[in-house]
């Protein structure tokens, strides 16, 4: 798991920094979760996870207003001295001057968000889960085909980039060429993206590097995409038995998550773009409950039953 700076959090969530004199580039978030310190403001610090973003919502602020100035200062002094990474007020509620004074004293950045507490928590958790998710980099091409994330893999020079370029010309969108960064954001979801340095570029042997965004427009590229299926390109082997019906799905695994995988043999004259499109559409129909291979099997069985 990686880390996220408070500066990134401020920029992403549109927070108003109430302690601009504090350095936020060096303060790291290492926990992809948040905490509402209601119990801590009452003095209960057992099992307190101090590494989380601390959010003061309407309920916490209402409770704080019932405290005497001395008690309020004591509670905030204990909270802020515990080593929390930051303090965020929701609903546009402004922290009191004594709170800002303590934040500056202990070096805890304090921010304000206009979002409601629930929306702010959900957005921060979702974003941090993606940013801090386990990540690997693999060799391949990731394309958004009819809304399905198709990861094209294969040996170098087998035609992955050329297939992606043809898909782009047919109206689909490039996510990454050559190197794909895969993040596991949940037990069921893998998110793919491109490294910053190669984003929107494709390498074509004999031509060189092309900028897809410049040549085909902004509608031809995408920054991130869930990975729904994998297509492995391989040289045709006449001695190998290939699946011709697709009755049972084959899978490959990344970071512990299983993804549907198809091995496509390459021979001269095969249109890879159409094959990838067909695979993506067929995958969508399976998700909607229709399996063409099983339907054919039922028809064959019904025909044999009639003959008997």
* pLDDT tens string 183-220: 998 888 999 999 999 999 998 888 889 999 999 999 99
Q: What is the DSSP letter of 14?
A: T
What residue segments make up the domains of the chain, in order of their start? 4-131, 135-297
For residue 46, pLDDT over 70 is answered with yes
What is the structure's pLDDT at 3? 80
- How far apart (Å, rounded) are the C-alpha atoms in residues 226 and 247? 25
The residue with tokens 């099997």 is 297
Range 278-302 average pLDDT: 87
For residue 259, pLDDT over 60 is answered with yes
Tell me whether strands 53-56 and 87-89 are parallel, antiparallel or unpaired: parallel
For residue 2, pLDDT over 80 is answered with no
Active site residue 178: yes
- Mean pLDDT in the chain? 91
137 is known to lie in a ligand binding site = no
What torsion do the CA atoms of 39, 44, 47, 50 make, to the nearest 10 degrees? 70
| 252: exposed, middle or buried (Cβ count in 10 Å: 0-12, 13-18, 19+) | middle
Q: Decide: 192 and 173 in contact? Cβ < 8 Å.
A: no
- How far apart (Å, rounded) are the C-alpha atoms in residues 55 and 93? 11
* Catalytic residue, candidates 126, 139, 169, 287: 139
157 is known to lie in a ligand binding site = yes
* Catalytic residue, candidates 52, 72, 115, 160: 160
203 is known to lie in a ligand binding site = yes
Residues 86-116, buried b or exposed e (16+ Cβ, 10 A)? bbbbbbebebbeebeebbbebebbbbbbebe
* Catalytic residue, candidates 47, 244, 306, 307: 244
156 is known to lie in a ligand binding site = yes
Active site residue 160: yes
Q: Decide: 140 and 219 in contact? Cβ < 8 Å.
A: no
> Over 38-71, what HEC string results?
CCHHHCCCCCCCCCCEEEECHHHHHHHCCCCHHH
Q: Decide: 120 and 90 in contact? Cβ < 8 Å.
A: yes
82 is known to lie in a ligand binding site = no
- How far apart (Å, rounded) are the C-alpha atoms in residues 157 and 209? 15
* Catalytic residue, candidates 51, 77, 178, 249: 178
Active site residue 211: no
* Mutual angle of helices 97-106 and 69-80, in 10-degree steps: 30
Active site residue 244: yes
Tell me the CA distances in angstroms from 228 to 78, 81, 143, 191, 224, one per residue in order. 47, 45, 11, 9, 13
Tell me which fold the domain 135-297 belongs to.
Rossmann fold (3.40.50)
Class of domain 4-131: alpha beta
What is the structure's pLDDT at 300? 86
Share of the chain above pLDDT 90, in %: 67
The band of 56, judged by pLDDT with boundaries at 50, 70 and 90, is very high
Share of the chain above pLDDT 70, in %: 99
78 is known to lie in a ligand binding site = no
For residue 277, pLDDT over 80 is answered with yes
């Amino acid at each position: 798991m990686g880390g996220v700076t408070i500066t990134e959090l401020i920029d992403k969530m549109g927070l108003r920094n109430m302690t601009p004199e504090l350095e936020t580039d060096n303060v790291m978030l290492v926990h992809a979760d948040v905490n509402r310190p209601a119990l801590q403001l009452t003095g209960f610090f057992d099992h307190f996870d101090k590494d989380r973003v601390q959010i003061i919502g309407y309920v916490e602020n209402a409770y704080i207003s019932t405290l005497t100035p001395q008690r309020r200062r004591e509670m905030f002094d204990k909270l802020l001295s515990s080593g929390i990474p930051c303090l965020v007020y929701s609903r546009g509620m402004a922290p009191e001057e004594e709170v800002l004074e303590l934040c500056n004293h202990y070096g805890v950045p304090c921010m304000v968000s206009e979002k409601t507490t629930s929306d702010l928590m959900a957005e921060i958790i979702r974003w941090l889960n993606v940013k801090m998710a386990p990540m690997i980099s693999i060799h391949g091409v990731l394309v958004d085909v009819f809304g399905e994330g198709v990861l094209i893999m294969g040996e170098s020079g087998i035609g992955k980039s050329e297939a992606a370029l043809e898909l782009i010309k047919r109206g689909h969108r490039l996510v990454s060429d050559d190197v794909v960064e895969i993040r596991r954001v949940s037990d069921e979801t893998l998110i793919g993206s491109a490294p910053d340095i190669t984003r929107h570029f494709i390498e074509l042997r004999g031509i060189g590097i092309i900028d897809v965004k410049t040549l085909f427009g902004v509608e031809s590229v995408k920054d991130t995409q869930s990975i729904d299926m994998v297509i492995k390109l391989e040289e045709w082997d006449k001695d190998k038995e290939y699946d011709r019906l697709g009755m049972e799905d084959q899978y490959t695994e990344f970071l512990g998550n299983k993804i549907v995988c198809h091995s496509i043999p390459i021979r001269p004259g095969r249109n890879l773009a159409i094959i990838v499109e067909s695979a993506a559409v067929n995958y969508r129909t399976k998700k909607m409950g229709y399996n063409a291979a099983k339907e054919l099997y039922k028809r064959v069985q019904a025909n044999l039953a009639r003959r008997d």
